[in-house]
């Protein structure tokens, strides 16, 4: 049985080329332990390619590469030709086809797909965090959060938490009710990452009435009464003053606008 040796060359981690090479090799060697595979990751200098080609010649290896820079692809192709080596370019042809289709040039920046993957998983993690620590369900989330939102009911804490989570921020939100003592964790965090959401009593009165109607209830419940709302807002004021956090009036602001204000405050703190 002819020995099979594969050199995997990448300007990033090399996982893509490694998986493709294994898939191809498995069609000839059911036991991949009989296949010698050597991965060369983060290859970004042309001098490295010359050394890899030298080693590949000594071991009669097939060179499989994923290099995003056209100059690096040309270099390894030349080195393989000079050394009589077989080589496979897994990215070059596809990059060319895509470039011609969209009439654009590639960035030629190694590792972009990994950055995109990491960005995606950070977003998912932040969204799950916002759900887990929504509406004060677990005060421990206050200590773990990047941003903490406090406010009375119906001040857009939940949609704002989700919006910020899509921007990859871990957000916990805590409702403030006069009859319930706020969690101690609120007074243990850096006040710069805490934001109080306040709203006009009359605007909140209208929002709460609509909410009651949507639930099939009468709109004259205590929850929507202006007197009750003013009592809650007074309690809110006492709590945020104790925390020492920034207060944002959300009466006539869209969620996106409030989010941008918060992120601006964070960047300046």
142 has binding-site annotation: no
34 has binding-site annotation: no
153 has binding-site annotation: yes
Largest CA distance in the chain: 88
151 has binding-site annotation: yes
- CA–CA distances in Å: residue 262 to residues 98, 182, 193, 259: 39, 22, 9, 5
264 has binding-site annotation: no
- HEC string for the chain: CCCEEEEEEECCCCHHHHHHHHHHHCCCCCCHHHEEEEEECCCCCHHHHHHHHHHHHHHCCEEEEECCCHHHHHHHHHHHHHCCCCEEECCHHHHHHHHHHHCCCCCCCCCHHHHHHHHHHHHHHHHHHHHHCHHHCCCHHHHHCCEEEEECCCCCHHHHHHHHHCCCCCEEEEECCCCCCCCHHHHCCCHHHEEEEECCHHHHHHHHHHHHHHCCCCCCCHHHCHHHHHHHHHHHHHHHHHHCCEEEECCCCCHHHHHHHHHHHHHHC
157 has binding-site annotation: yes
Binding site members? 151-158
Binding site members for ADP? 151-158
């Amino acid at each position: 049985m002819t020995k099979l040796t594969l050199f995997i060359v990448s300007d990033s981690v090399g996982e893509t080329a490694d998986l493709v090479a294994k898939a191809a090799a498995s069609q000839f060697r059911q036991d991949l332990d009989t296949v010698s595979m050597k991965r060369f990751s983060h290859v970004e200098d042309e001098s490295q390619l010359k050394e890899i080609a030298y080693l590949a010649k000594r071991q009669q290896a097939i060179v499989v590469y994923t290099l995003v820079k056209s100059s690096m692809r040309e270099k390894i192709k030349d080195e393989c030709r000079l050394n009589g080596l077989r080589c496979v370019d897994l990215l070059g042809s596809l990059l060319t086809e895509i470039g011609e289709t969209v009439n654009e040039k590639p960035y030629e920046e190694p590792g972009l797909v990994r950055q995109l993957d990491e960005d995606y998983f950070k977003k998912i993690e932040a969204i799950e965090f916002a759900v887990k620590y929504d509406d004060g369900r677990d005060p421990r989330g206050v200590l773990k959060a990047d941003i903490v939102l406090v406010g009375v009911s119906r001040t857009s804490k939940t949609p704002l938490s989700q919006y910020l989570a899509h921007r990859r921020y871990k957000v916990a939100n805590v409702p403030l009710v006069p009859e319930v003592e706020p969690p101690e964790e609120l007074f243990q965090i850096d006040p710069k990452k805490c934001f109080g959401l306040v709203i006009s009593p009359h605007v909140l009165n209208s929002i709460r009435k609509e909410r009651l109607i949507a639930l099939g209830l009468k709109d004259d419940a205590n929850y929507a009464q202006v007197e009750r709302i003013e009592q809650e807002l007074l309690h809110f004021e006492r709590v945020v003053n104790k925390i020492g956090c920034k207060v944002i009036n959300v009466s006539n602001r869209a969620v996106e606008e409030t989010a941008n204000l918060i992120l601006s405050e964070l960047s300046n703190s």
